[in-house]
Amino acid sequence: MALTEEAPWEGDARGTSARESALHDGILCRQSARESAARTYARALPIVPVRARGLTIEGADGRRYLDCLSGAGTLALGHNHPVVLEAIRKVLDSGAPLHTLDLATPVKDAFTTELFQTLPPALADRARIQFCGPAGTDAVEAALKLVRTATGRSGLLAFAGAYHGMTAGALEVSGGAQDVRVARLPYPQDYRCPFGVGGPRGAELAARWTETLLDDTKSGVPLPAGMILEPVQGEGGVIPAPDTWLRRMRALTESRGIPLIADEVQTGVGRTGAFWAVDHSGVVPDVMVLSKAIGGSLPLAVLVYRDDLDVWGPGAHAGTFRGNQLAMAAGTATLAHVRENGLAERAAVLGTRMMTQLRALAREYPCIGDVRGRGLMIGVELVDPEGNTSPALTAPADVPHTGKGAADAIAAADGAGAAHLTGAGHTDDLSADPLLGEPATTPLPAAPALAAAVRDACLDRGLIVELGGRHSSVVRLLPPLTITDEQAAAIVDRLADALAAVARTHS
């Protein structure tokens, strides 16, 4: 039976036959016997997908799930969207070659044209594109190589909690690494602010730390080849960077001739409520790393950068699989569909609504420490409500945490008004930034076991979610941008039900 959006999308739409059960269990059993110990999602999600459409996945056992993992944020249009399938079929039926290295093809030409249409105009006007090996991590490698070649420098600036991929260079700039050529900088965050204050003050301190490192001749950080950042840290626990902070990073890098690399592998193509997450702030990066959704569910990764950086030589970054025609066709269809149907704006509306509902739940359940995100990139951090708070993470009593009071406190503490927060032609009143609205409350200890219990309870209720964050304590929602109001409500309902069940068991 074909799975359609009209078919019921509730989990367990029907019973499981003995044959289905045997097939399902046999495949899982062989997987655990034969596949690597390094496998990841497969451990927590004992599902054998056989059909999928939109938000829905059907397993070999006949069970149906709402898929809020979406291929780790890849499926902007959900599974098997008709425009994607049609684009793929068109290439197949045309007799076009499927493997073309980096040769020019009409399919690639159309993809590049569509992609450039979506870029910040100041970058699009002078953009070059490098097609990379098909994973995001390969495009990250290419970005690092590009800026090192262009600047003749080797050091890099990267952020605590970052995730950029699994190849050597990408790992160096990710949060877990210890590479001397990479200076690690604080990423602003409200709930677990490294300075213990969160809000505008926390973001301001994070920016100042970066500025100091760059300007202090004895900081031990030589002028770097580039700065790489995620506009919203995904794997790091769904932490949106305030627009004001991002503009500060742009101003700091621009004035010092440091290329700014925006890793939009996960945040791109409407996910955060703007086509590219940098669009929220108006920041124009020098380099953008793009993958996941740009391939319309098939593997594709590219690097887009300003033409003056294009000084590397032929073969500086190569790879056999840079010419995936099906991925380019599926990607063109996806980019055009998101653009033409205003799906970024839709993601913003749905995300705001879902986060409001989840914040209401947080008031009910003390085990929800924080609800945060942007657009349809949402995180719910689970904490131990009985746990002790760390004094270092507690905001000082005399610093107001949020809103106008915090801005006043900054001005008073600095002996200056908001003028010093201005960057790249914007007046950046940090107190006006909606992403800085939540107070830096006293964070409770992360509760990874509780988060895992919620994920499992979600699965029991036919909802697939991912865990992320420093301690794997953040339940992540990355639904397709195409979900209906009813589906969005069903996702929140199931998560609420799972939370209630886990809270009951653990109290």
Residue 305 contacts ligand PMP per CB under 6 A: no
Exposure class string for 279-317: b at 16+ Cβ within 10 A, else e: bbbebbbbbbbbbbbbbbbbbbbbbbbbeebeebeeeeb
Q: Please state the closest distance from residue 74 (CB atom) to ligand PMP, in A.
A: 9
- Contacting residue, 265, 371, 440, 444, with ligand PMP by CB under 6 A: 265
Greatest CA separation for the chain: 74
135 contacts ligand PMP (rule: CB under 6 A):
yes
Q: Does residue 381 contact residue 191 with C-beta atoms inside 8 Å?
A: yes
Shortest spacing between CB 294 and ligand PMP, in angstroms: 11
Helix ranges (DSSP H) in 97-236 = 106-118, 121-124, 136-151, 168-172, 199-215
Is 64 or 164 the residue whose CB approaches ligand PMP more closely? 164
**Location of structure tokens 């932490």:** 239
- Using the 8-state DSSP alphabet, how is residue 401 labeled? -
Provide the 3-class DSSP secondary structure of residue 332. helix
Residue 269, interface with ligand PMP (CB under 6 A)?
no
Residue with tokens 């993601």: 347
Binding range to ligand PMP, per CB under 6 A, among 54-62, 259-267, 390-398, 475-483: 259-267
Structure tokens at 421: 């927060």
Residue 331 in the binding site for ligand PMP (CB under 6 A) = no
Report the distance separating Cα 65 and Cα 458, nearest Å: 10
Q: Should residue 136 be labelled a site residue for ligand PMP when binding is judged by CB under 6 A?
A: yes
Which of 253, 254, 286, 294 is CA-nearest to residue 146? Answer: 286
266 binds ligand PMP, rule: CB under 6 A: yes
- Pick the closer one to ligand PMP by CB: 294 or 407: 294
Cα–Cα distance, 50 to 444 (Å, whole number): 40
Contacts of 146 (CB under 8 A, 6+ apart): 130, 287, 303, 305, 309, 312, 316, 317
Q: Which of 53, 79, 108, 164 binds ligand PMP (CB under 6 A)?
A: 164
Of 101-109, 131-139, 239-247, 465-473, the window that binds ligand PMP (rule: CB under 6 A) is 131-139
Taking the least distance from each CB to ligand PMP, the nearer of 163 and 305 is 163
Q: Which is nearer to ligand PMP, 70 or 137 (CB)?
A: 137
Nearest distance, CB of residue 205 and ligand PMP, angstroms: 24
Task: Output the residue with the shortest Cβ distance to ligand PMP.
Answer: 136
Residue from 59, 194, 202, 234 touching ligand PMP (CB under 6 A): that is: 234
Cβ distance to ligand PMP smaller for residue 140 or 327: 140
- Looking at the Cβ atoms of 54 and 133, the one nearer to ligand PMP is 133
Number of residues that bind ligand PMP (CB under 6 A): 15
Residues 156 and 228 sit within 8 Å (Cβ to Cβ): yes
Is residue 230 part of the contact set for ligand PMP (CB under 6 A)? yes
Say how far apart CA 173 and CA 434 lie, in whole Å.
29
Kind and range of the H or E run holding 345: helix 343-364
Stretch that binds ligand PMP, among 90-98, 159-167, 376-384, 496-504 (CB under 6 A): 159-167
Q: Which of 54, 59, 155, 165 is the binder for ligand PMP (CB under 6 A)? A: 165
Task: Give the whole-angstrom CA distance, residue 429 versus residue 451.
Answer: 36
Which of 3, 87, 115, 140 contacts ligand PMP by CB under 6 A?
140
Query: Residues 235, 243, 286, 428: which binds ligand PMP (CB under 6 A)?
Result: 235
Runs of H (alpha helix) within 229-294: 243-255
Our CB check for ligand PMP shows the closer of 291 and 473 to be 291
Please return the burial class of 178, using the count of CB atoms within 10 Å of its CB with bins 0-12, 13-18 and 19+: exposed
> Any contact of residue 477 with ligand PMP (CB under 6 A)?
no
Four-point Cα dihedral 455, 456, 460, 461, nearest 10: -20
**Binding ligand PMP by CB under 6 A: which of 291, 324, 325, 487?**
291
Residue closer to ligand PMP, measured from CB, 135 or 333: 135
72 touching ligand PMP, by CB under 6 A: yes
172 binds ligand PMP (CB under 6 A): no
Q: Give the footprint of ligand PMP on this chain (CB under 6 A).
A: 72, 135-137, 140, 163-165, 230, 234-235, 263, 265-266, 291
